[in-house]
Structure 1
């Protein structure tokens, strides 16, 4: 990214990477309209992540995009959960964007995102069981927290889960609520959002949906952290694998191609992973609940909700 692409954040000395006591260290990520930078206070060494619009006042952002940006800032500022990224007050010295859209200041997570962790050679067959357990307990808690506040994330994927260590303890944190939606009284939506590979079927087909879309996405990510890849024909695009997956039975949690190109369905995950067989069996049963194609039956079984079932699994010795 060249200097001309950056919005005006320059100080009186003309250096756009210095603002008061703050210094911009690096770009943490970019999207269609936004960019997140890491700033550090040169006196206190305090880091802070600042998300701002990449474009100026004359940018051709549609009213819908502007509304989505403002909604994300509004939602983030009122959430407080240890596994949802914390919104902070924007330091006055940094609150000088040339864009009229609000800045979003957040805590900085030095561990990077879950996709980066997947990329390490030792995790090619999934994460260690200890990390899988921590991930499930924390991220399920975060998603349940959002749902209780009538918020759907709608874009759960490895890139939107950050890692942080506090006092030697690993924490997973949900980020990027740019696609989040506060449920109205009807609790039903139809807009097309999110990342295609992790999109729930009803979202992909632009059908009516509710918070159960997050169950599907979390199910996909859970399978991926255990064995290292998504469950349904991961080498194919959504347009290719969805027609096959929509015909699957409720018990099917993975579909794969053999060496002859034939598609197989299975109720079991690959045995090449780093979790115990007993734990794997419990999670396979749970994934049947999460990866149910029908959104009306997804997320519950025999009158019990998915997150309650998961808590029982994780509490077992």
Structure 2
């Protein structure tokens, strides 16, 4: 969550040469295109020389139009790159063609919620939480996941958020669609998205089929659509958790810290720590 720059020279054939603070160098070679989104292209790279030889990483290449003014002033490069851990099992979306058992869902949500807590503690809002932005390090039944893709994340320290339509429609909080100039949206938009992810993983579908249905709930015209949760055999604690992070009013939604203390998640903290040690 801190500004970090690495002295890099771009060599022929997709090779990057990093000069470390110690004076040592590393050569990384681009091997495979992993995917492309609205905010850049992700490549698989392998270290071919240096202390990390044989290591693999994912690198996101972002056009300059998606780099903030401050970053443009700091980095005099034609393009902007973000280096990340490489997750060999892809994203969570590719693993949830069918709904997952409740315990596995809770394990995943503990980890995502911890990531959101960290993001919010550093005064950032992710704004695009969804299964395809959650990377899978270890697969079921243990599950080790990481939140990724901060392409539309925003530092909210000392500023209001008014940008509309930022994120992915099915997972966006209603207030993002048309934020009022008088009432900017807050980090609570991530909690709504987090609840939508939990609903999707547990039931295999989204809570609403259309924007109109979502706003009917948001405007207190209809109740929360808990029938898919009931049909999936979800516990009362699971349903309560999802509804608590998807409360109509942003101020009524659980914070990430409160969500981790919810009865549905809090007993799994130690087990998740064990998973981290096993998969690291």
Corresponding position: 1:48 with 2:54: no
For residues 1-317 of structure 1, the aligned pairs below 5 Å read 11=12, 16-17=13-14, 22-42=28-48, 44-53=53-62, 62=65, 65-67=66-68, 70=71, 99-119=77-97, 124=98, 126-165=99-138, 170-185=143-158, 188-192=160-164, 193-207=166-180, 208-233=184-209, 236=210, 238=211, 240-248=212-220, 252-254=223-225, 266=226, 269-272=229-232, 277=234, 280-299=235-254, 306-310=258-262, 312-316=263-267
- The residue that corresponds to 1:80 in the other structure is none
- 3-state SS of the aligned residue for 1:313? coil
1:222 Cα deviation from its structure 2 partner: 0.4
* Partner Cα distance (1:104, 1:305) in 2: 28
* Partner Cα distance (2:114, 2:69) in 1: 25
Structure 2: 5+ residue stretches without partners:
1-9, 18-26, 269-280
* Partner Cα distance (1:115, 1:248) in 2: 30
8 A Cα contact 1:190 1:209, kept in partner: yes
* Partner Cα distance (1:243, 1:307) in 2: 24
1:130 Cα deviation from its structure 2 partner: 3.5
Q: 1:68 to 1:181 in 2, by over 3 A?
A: farther
- 3-state SS of the aligned residue for 1:39? strand
- The 10-residue stretch of structure 1 (171-180 or 26-35) with the greater mean CA deviation from structure 2: 26-35
8 A Cα contact 1:202 1:209, kept in partner: yes
- 3-state SS of the aligned residue for 1:269? helix
Once the two structures are superposed, residues 265-303 of structure 1 have per-residue CA deviations (whole angstroms, 9 ceiling, x without a partner) of x46714235xxx5xx210111222111121122226xxx
* Partner Cα distance (1:69, 1:185) in 2: 16
Under a length normalisation based on structure 2, what TM-score does the superposition of the two structures give?
0.74
Q: 1:132 to 1:205 in 2, by over 3 A?
A: same
Q: 1:194 to 1:241 in 2, by over 3 A?
A: same
* Partner Cα distance (1:176, 1:224) in 2: 19
8 A Cα contact 1:286 1:306, kept in partner: no
* Partner Cα distance (1:69, 1:161) in 2: 27
- 3-state SS of the aligned residue for 2:201? helix
* Partner Cα distance (1:220, 1:46) in 2: 35
* Partner Cα distance (1:68, 1:212) in 2: 26
Runs of at least 4 residues off by over 6 Å: none
* Partner Cα distance (1:180, 1:70) in 2: 14
- Paired residues in the alignment total 242
1:220 Cα deviation from its structure 2 partner: 0.5
